Amino acid sequence: TDIRYRKSVDEAGLAREYAKNTVQKKIAFFDETLVDDVVRTGAIEEAEDAALENEEFKVYIQPKFRYNGQKSEVIGGEALVRWIDQNGDIKPPDEFIPVFEENGFIMELDQYMWEEVCKLLRRWLDEGKRLVPISVNVSRTYLSKYDVVDYISQLVSMYEIPIQYLQIEITETSENEETIACAKKFKDAGFTLMMDD
């Protein structure tokens, strides 16, 4: 894989693309780190489908605490994705998430994560554990493509999750008409909504 990507690299074109996609740079020079980025991206894209099929993407819950001056209590959590490959190696999210956002695979990963969180909440309910709200990310890529509110509502219904325990974080840095309309639809459906910039 490494050799194939390295042979196909247009060095001048790669430097031009880097300059075009970097705000501060008007001029760029080719160096081997640009090739390394292309190779790394290519390897991630080659592995993404098999990783999803093999359930290499794992849900980790980052707890949210409330501290009242004497003690702290867990009041919720945020679902984070971790990619643990077949060898047990963990790929950092900042390495693969930007690639998935660029190539559109983030939509498949989002769907997978939403369902995995619903399964987790269902399991906790069945085991009689105390539930706390878990927030899941909805990437801005998804907002313009599909009826995400209907999709997540169907998951909540299918797994019989009380709606207040699945919170929605829209990963959008600017308020535009599309985001506002989607936020209203989520709220109308009964979801708790948060913005994540």
pLDDT at 147: 86
pLDDT at 23: 42
Quick: pLDDT tens for 82-109. 999 999 999 989 999 999 988 889 999 9
pLDDT at 173: 54
pTM exceeding 0.85? no
pLDDT at 183: 86
Q: Which residues of the chain have pLDDT under 50?
A: 1-3, 5-8, 14, 18-19, 22-25, 28-30, 34
pLDDT at 37: 65
Distance CA 81, CA 139 (A): 13
pLDDT at 96: 93
- Cα–Cα distances (Å) from 113 to 15, 67, 136, in that order, read 35, 29, 8
Q: Which residues pair with 65 in a beta bridge?
A: 74
As given in the structure block, the two tokens for residue 7 are 């042979």
pLDDT at 139: 82
pLDDT at 11: 54
Distance CA 51, CA 186 (A): 30
Question: Radius of gyration over alpha carbons of the chain, in Å?
Answer: 20
